[in-house]
């Protein structure tokens, strides 16, 4: 049984002035994320704070928040929560903000991975794809493949995972008419084709 009072209290603690309290509160909210019965309470009490924490000053808090959105994205009810609260708008804005040349840093790799894992689940249909269209998402996903600033600032493991997940999200988005056109406009086929080179050592077959 999901205690709505616990969700309400924990959600309020996500606004605490101490960063560790905010982080642990977000992680506790994430533990409810895969329970369908929790969605109503999460929408009522948690999503406003979660969207704000995507831009928290503390990286551990941001990581915990991105993990919550990933956990939400693994169930149909959680995906509906993300869509109905327009949280995808904040998620993609935050992803772009923290993956641009002037925003990226080594400690942000896991944060970007959690958001990409959520996007991979979110973009299985038009309802989840549409919030990412027209916002520069497709251009940014493809830019990260070979941008020197991303290669230099992220660990090899994180950059590899980000490329793999970005390919998966782009593949999902390309089945949408507007998404396909954005992929064409931003030369996604050209930017991703080098992953198919037989000399490239990493396996991206499942993402292409």
CA 109 to chain centre: 11
- Our CA dihedral for 123, 128, 130, 136, rounded to 10 degrees, sits at -50
Token pair belonging to 207 = 């993402």
d(CA 89, CA 130): 10
Provide the pLDDT for residue 4.
87
Per-residue pLDDT tens listing for the chain (208 residues): 467 899 999 999 999 999 999 999 999 999 999 888 888 999 999 999 999 999 999 999 999 999 999 999 999 999 999 999 999 999 999 999 999 999 999 999 999 999 999 999 999 999 999 999 999 999 999 999 999 999 999 999 999 999 999 999 999 999 999 999 999 999 999 888 767 664 555 554 455 4
SS3 for 36-96, per residue? HHHHHHHHHHCHHHHHHHCCCCCHHHHHHHHHHHHHHCCCHHHHHHHHHCCHHHHHHHHHH
Q: Check: CB of residue 90 under 8 Å from CB of residue 51.
A: yes
Provide the pLDDT for residue 2.
64
Provide the pLDDT for residue 37.
85
């Amino acid at each position: 049984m999901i205690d709505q009072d616990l969700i309400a209290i924990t959600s309020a603690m996500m606004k605490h002035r101490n960063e560790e309290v905010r982080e642990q509160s977000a992680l506790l909210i994430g533990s409810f994320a895969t329970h369908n019965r929790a969605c109503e309470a999460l929408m009522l009490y948690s999503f406003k704070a979660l969207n704000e924490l995507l831009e928290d000053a503390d990286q551990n808090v941001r990581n915990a928040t991105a993990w919550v959105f990933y956990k939400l994205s693994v169930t149909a009810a959680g995906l509906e929560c993300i869509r109905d609260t327009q949280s995808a708008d904040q998620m993609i804005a935050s992803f772009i903000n923290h993956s641009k040349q002037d925003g990226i840093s080594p400690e942000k790799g896991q944060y970007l991975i959690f958001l990409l894992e959520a996007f991979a689940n979110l973009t299985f249909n038009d309802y989840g794809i549409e919030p990412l269209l027209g916002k520069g998402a497709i251009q940014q996903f493809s830019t990260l493949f070979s941008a020197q600033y991303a290669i230099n600032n992220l660990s090899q493991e994180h950059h590899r995972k980000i490329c793999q997940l970005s390919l998966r999200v782009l593949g999902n988005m390309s089945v949408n008419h507007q998404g396909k056109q954005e992929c064409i406009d931003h030369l996604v086929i050209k930017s991703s084709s080098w992953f198919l080179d037989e000399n490239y050592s990493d396996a991206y077959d499942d993402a292409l």
